[in-house]
């Protein structure tokens, strides 16, 4: 095998260093894309949750007279009383069973 000259080795070294820099740049770009995707995903999850909470609050207020005048503690107490029945527990178990079989 013929030995390479020093200028040939320097050129080869430079070529490899440039390749490493190109890959490092690509890795940095991919990490940035991943970060942006994670942020978009979290924002979408937050928007979905916020929408769900607003809808459920609206449903609650449509069913309870003067719901806007109740404090958070009163709402919590009302829901605790309403859900502490055999009928409510049976309904919740049925809904949970239906979800788990899907």
**Ordered DSSP codes for 26-82:** HHHHHHHHHHHHHHHHHHHHHHHHHHHHHHHHHHHHHHSTTGGGS-HHHHHHHHHHH
Residue 1 has pLDDT above 90, yes or no: no
Tens of pLDDT, residue by residue over 59-81, are: 999 999 999 999 999 999 999 99
Number of structural domains, the chain? Answer: 2
Length of the chain in residues, anyone? 102
- Quickly tell me which residue has 């806007």 as its tokens: 68
pLDDT confidence of 102, banded at 50, 70, 90? low
| Average pLDDT for 16-29 | 98
Q: What's the pTM?
A: 0.68
Residues 78 and 31 in one domain: no
Tokens of 102: 């899907």
Domain, as residue range, for 33: 1-65
Residues 42 and 76 in one domain: no
Residues 55 and 7 in one domain: yes
Residue 14 has pLDDT above 70, yes or no: yes
pLDDT value of residue 90: 92
**CA–CA distance, 73 with 98 (Å, rounded to integer):** 31
Residues 6 and 20 in one domain: yes
Instruction: Measure the CA dihedral 75/82/77/49, to 10°.
Output: -50
Residues 28 and 5 in one domain: yes
pLDDT value of residue 96: 87
| Average pLDDT for 34-58 | 98
Residue 27, class by beta-carbon neighbours within 10 Å (0-12 exposed, 13-18 middle, 19+ buried)? exposed
């Amino acid at each position: 095998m013929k030995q390479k000259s020093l200028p040939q080795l320097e050129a080869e070294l430079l070529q490899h260093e440039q390749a490493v820099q190109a890959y490092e740049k690509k890795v940095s770009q991919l990490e940035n894309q991943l970060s942006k995707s994670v942020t978009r995903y979290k924002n979408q999850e937050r928007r979905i949750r916020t929408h769900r909470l607003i809808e459920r609050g609206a449903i609650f207020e449509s069913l309870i007279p003067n719901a806007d005048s109740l404090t958070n503690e009163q709402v919590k107490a009302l829901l605790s009383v309403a859900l502490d029945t055999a009928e409510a527990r049976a309904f919740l178990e049925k809904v949970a069973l239906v979800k788990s079989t899907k």
